[in-house]
C-alpha cells in the first residue's frame, strides 16, 4: 500500500514546477526520473522519482474573510520514508518568513 500526503502551498505553481524540474534534472544524472505531461490543462503534472509520484495541480484561490490566497495542491505518494524525505526537502526549499 502506498503512503500519501498532501501539501496546500501558497508558493506560485511556476516556482514549484521549476523546483521539481531541477530535482528531476539532478536525479536523471543518477537515477531514472521523469515528468509526465498530460493532454488536459486541468490534469496535474506528474513527476516520478524512483518509487514516488508527485502530482502538482493547478493553482486555485482559497477565500478568507477579507482576501483570496493562491493555493497549489501537491500530492505525494510512495513509500512513507521516501515521501517524508521529499516533503522535508520541499519544505526546506520553500521555507519563508512572514509577519
In a domain, 75, yes or no: yes
Residue 98, pLDDT score? 62
Residue 17 lies in a domain: yes
Contacts of 65 (CB under 8 A, 6+ apart): none
Residue 98 placed within a domain = no
Q: Which domain holds residue 57?
A: 3-93
Q: What is the DSSP string of 28-59?
A: HHHS-EEEE--SSTTSPEEEEETTEEEEEEEE
Q: Is the pLDDT of residue 19 over 90?
A: yes
Provide the CATH number for the domain around residue 46: 3.30.1370.80
Query: Is the pLDDT at 94 greater than 80, yes or no?
Result: yes
φ/ψ region of 50 (left if φ > 0, alpha if ψ in -120 to 50, else beta) reads left
Domain count within the chain = 1
pTM of the complete model: 0.78
> Is residue 85 in some structural domain?
yes
Give residue 6's pLDDT: 95
DSSP assignment, residue 94? T
- Condensed to tens digits (0 to 9), the pLDDT of residues 42-71 reads 689 999 988 899 999 998 887 778 888 889
Specify the range with the lowest mean pLDDT, choosing from 40-44, 78-82, 88-92, 94-98. 40-44
Residue 99 lies in a domain: no
How does residue 85 score in pLDDT terms, banded at 50, 70 and 90?
very high
Is 47 in contact with 24 (CB distance < 8 Å)?
A: yes
Q: Is residue 29 part of a domain?
A: yes
Amino acid at each position: 500500500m502506498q503512503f500519501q500526503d498532501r501539501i496546500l502551498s501558497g508558493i506560485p505553481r511556476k516556482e514549484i514546477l521549476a523546483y521539481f524540474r531541477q530535482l528531476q534534472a539532478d536525479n536523471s544524472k543518477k537515477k531514472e526520473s521523469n515528468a509526465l505531461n498530460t493532454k488536459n490543462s486541468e490534469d496535474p503534472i506528474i513527476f516520478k522519482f524512483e518509487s514516488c509520484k508527485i502530482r502538482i495541480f493547478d493553482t486555485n484561490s482559497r477565500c478568507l474573510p477579507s482576501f483570496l490566497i493562491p493555493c497549489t495542491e501537491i500530492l505525494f505518494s510512495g513509500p512513507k520514508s521516501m515521501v517524508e524525505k521529499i516533503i522535508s526537502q520541499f519544505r526546506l526549499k520553500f521555507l519563508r518568513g512572514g509577519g
